[in-house]
């Protein structure tokens, strides 16, 4: 049976010191969680605002079609209301421990397991959907990497004796052959459990200012809009018909793997500044930016 214990650390010192580290992390983790949620709200707002424009533009990448799409944009108040309703439903769904929503889940947890034989040693298993929250927990003073997995070779810098010691320590603290979950044998520090309220509350001037500061500039929005329209155009563009007996090409036309391949090829072309597609992308960006400046989405940098 494979054993994987990632984002795990060892701390040597008394509990008061460990508590100071973990309790002191709340401020930075809260700030990072708030920024994640503000960016998520901005992303959802852009999705709803620009959906008609992407649909129009993806037909033949004609800038005049983009203008038609932008003219169909709902009022900002309507968009914000739609985003609020969606956020509220998705946050409620996160109460289910089996439900995942990587865009909105900013909770974090550090499970502390006292060593059964050493009073001044603790193991910490960290959990979070967002990588930067895990990185911050792992960077706390005195935290030393102590992950273990038996399905790959040990990491560089850890000799065989140290690797075996990790295995034996984790096996001991997690209950021998039973392998209890860390939360069953330790105690947890939990973070950002009510942080979602930040993403919903735009009721005062400070909250609105934070949201508008997180909103991408019109230039950044134009780049995102152009890229998404080009990708949508590539997906919907009819490809060459499969030759008789060409089963692989026929499958490509109807399978999700074909969509992924088209997107990969499109993104590769966009990354090549000498390609015709990259030049078309830049031209679209230049045309879209002044259009966006005339919409309610030009909250910043207008």
Could you tell me the residue ranges of all domains in the chain? 1-215, 216-302
Identify each DSSP E strand in the chain by its residue range.
4-5, 8-12, 108-114, 121-128, 144-145, 148-149, 187-191
Q: Give me the helix-helix angle, 218-236 and 256-270, nearest 10°.
A: 130
pTM: 0.83
Give pLDDT tens digits for 38-62: 999 999 999 999 999 999 999 999 9
Over its C-alpha atoms, the chain yields an Rg (Å, rounded) of 25
96 half-sphere exposure, CB direction, 13 A CA radius: 8
Name the band, by pLDDT with cuts 50, 70 and 90, for residue 301: very low
Would you state the structure tokens that stand for residue 87, as one six-digit string? 């956020």
Mean pLDDT of 113-134: 93
Spatial distance between the Cα atoms of 242 and 227, rounded to a whole number of angstroms: 28
Collapsed DSSP state (helix, strand, coil) of residue 158: coil
Spatial distance between the Cα atoms of 72 and 65, rounded to a whole number of angstroms: 11
Task: Please provide the average confidence, as pLDDT, over all residues in the chain.
Answer: 88
What is the DSSP track for 4-51? EE-SEEEEES-HHHHHHHHHHTHHHHHHHHHHHHHHHHHHHHHHHHHH
Give pLDDT tens digits for 53-104: 999 999 999 999 999 999 999 898 999 999 999 999 999 998 898 899 999 9
Would you state the structure tokens that stand for residue 268, as one six-digit string? 């590769």
Residues paired with residue 188 on neighbouring β-strands, in sequence order: 111
């Amino acid at each position: 049976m494979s054993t994987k214990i990632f984002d795990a650390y060892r701390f040597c010192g008394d509990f008061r010191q460990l508590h100071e580290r973990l309790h002191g992390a709340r401020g930075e983790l809260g700030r990072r969680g708030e920024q994640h949620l503000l960016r998520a709200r901005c992303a959802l707002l852009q999705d709803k605002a620009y959906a008609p424009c992407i649909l129009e533009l993806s037909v033949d990448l004609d800038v005049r079609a983009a203008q038609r799409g932008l003219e169909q944009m709902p009022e900002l108040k309507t968009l914000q209301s739609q985003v609020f309703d969606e956020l509220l439903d998705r946050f409620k769904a996160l109460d289910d421990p089996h439900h995942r929503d990587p865009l909105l889940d900013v909770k974090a947890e550090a499970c502390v397991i006292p060593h059964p034989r050493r009073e001044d040693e603790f193991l910490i298993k960290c959990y979070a959907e967002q990588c930067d929250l895990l990185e911050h927990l792992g960077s706390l003073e005195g935290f030393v990497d102590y992950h273990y997995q038996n399905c790959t070779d040990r990491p560089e810098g850890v000799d065989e004796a140290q690797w075996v010691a990790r295995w034996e320590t984790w096996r001991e603290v997690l209950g021998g052959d039973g392998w209890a979950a860390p939360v069953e044998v330790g105690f947890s520090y939990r973070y950002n459990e009510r942080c979602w309220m930040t993403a919903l509350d735009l009721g005062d001037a400070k909250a609105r200012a934070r949201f508008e500061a997180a909103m991408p500039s019109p230039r950044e929005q134009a780049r995102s809009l152009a890229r998404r329209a080009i990708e949508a155009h590539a997906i919907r563009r009819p490809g060459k018909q499969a030759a008789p007996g060409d089963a692989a090409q026929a499958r490509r036309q109807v399978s999700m793997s074909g969509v992924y391949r088209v997107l990969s090829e499109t993104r590769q072309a966009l990354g090549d500044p000498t390609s015709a597609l990259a030049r078309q992308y830049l031209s679209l960006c230049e045309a879209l930016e002044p259009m966006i400046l005339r919409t309610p989405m030009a909250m910043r940098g207008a």
